[in-house]
Amino acid sequence: MRLGLVTYMWGAEWDLPTLLANCRETGFAGVELRTQHKHGVEPTLSADERRAVVDLFAASGIELVGLGTTCEYHSPDREVLRRNIEQTKEFIKLCHDCGGSGVKVRPNALPEDVPPTQTLEQIGQALNEVAAFGEGYGIAIRLEVHGPGTSRLENIKAIMDVAQHPGATVCWNCNATDLEAPGLEHNLRLVADRLGTVHIHDLISDYPWQQLFDLLNEIGFEGWTLLEEGSPTADPIRVMKYYRLLWERMTAPRQGPSPRAE
């Protein structure tokens, strides 16, 4: 596994050179750039500006894991749905031009007065479209486990059962819904064969982090675990270094079966 940062709260106010320098200092090997943050990597960039982003990453030794968007496909309004799909395609082109490997999207609701199965089918079909588009650019689509109702793992699995394009993957998000009966291991295994990236959060919270990392080792996950921290801190560099040490300890291979959460 590899450790990276999502510019959600930590890093949101850093320009790109500062962000890359801070990741290098703290031992974070990659970054997912959340849209609308100070890094400024947005679809409005010119070709020259995109090449400059590539050069900055290359000089830093930090990998652009991908772009984190708010594109979502649950709306029953066909114009809204189409706008989100087309916006995703613009981010795919941007990600390719800047040297990234994937674009994060999300489900965000099960609209009232629409059968849930219909919404899940719609999200899955939209994922097929954007994943097929992404294939032409070498860019994966990463569906974040997100949103009221849609963050339940049986619903994510239902979406992915529709989204059969191999470029459509799951971004595990370490939510409370992961722990719903029959438990974390069962729910993770529902989507384990489609797992692309993992968003991790407060590593000293009550979430069963050790069990998660043991399971990820068990299934052979070798991808990015990306710290997405929503709580502000006065000293993010210090805390990032501390979290890296925690992460290194938790992700080290262990002997014996994974511990089970109560």
Query: Which residues partner with 104 through β-bridges?
Result: 68, 142
**Of all residues in the chain, what percent carry a pLDDT higher than 70?**
97
- CA neighbor of 78 nearest in space, from 42, 41, 125: 125
Give residue-wise pLDDT tens across range 46-69. Answer: 999 999 999 999 999 999 999 999
Residue 262: the pLDDT is 40
C-alpha–C-alpha distance, residues 185 and 179, integer Å: 9
Residue 257: the pLDDT is 55
Q: Please, what is the average pLDDT of the chain?
A: 96
Q: Are 197 and 169 contacting, i.e. CB atoms less than 8 angstroms apart?
A: yes
Whether pLDDT at 255 is above 80: no
Give residue-wise pLDDT tens across range 122-142. Answer: 999 999 999 999 999 999 999
- CA neighbor of 41 nearest in space, from 10, 130, 106, 32: 32
Task: Give the strand pairing for 195-200 and 2-6.
Answer: unpaired
By CB atoms closer than 10 A (0-12, 13-18, 19+), residue 159 is buried
Q: Please, which pLDDT band fits residue 229 given cuts at 50, 70 and 90? A: confident
Give the predicted TM-score (pTM) of the model: 0.94
Whether pLDDT at 3 is above 60: yes
Q: Which amino acid would we find at residue 12?
A: A
- Write out the CATH class of domain 2-251: alpha beta
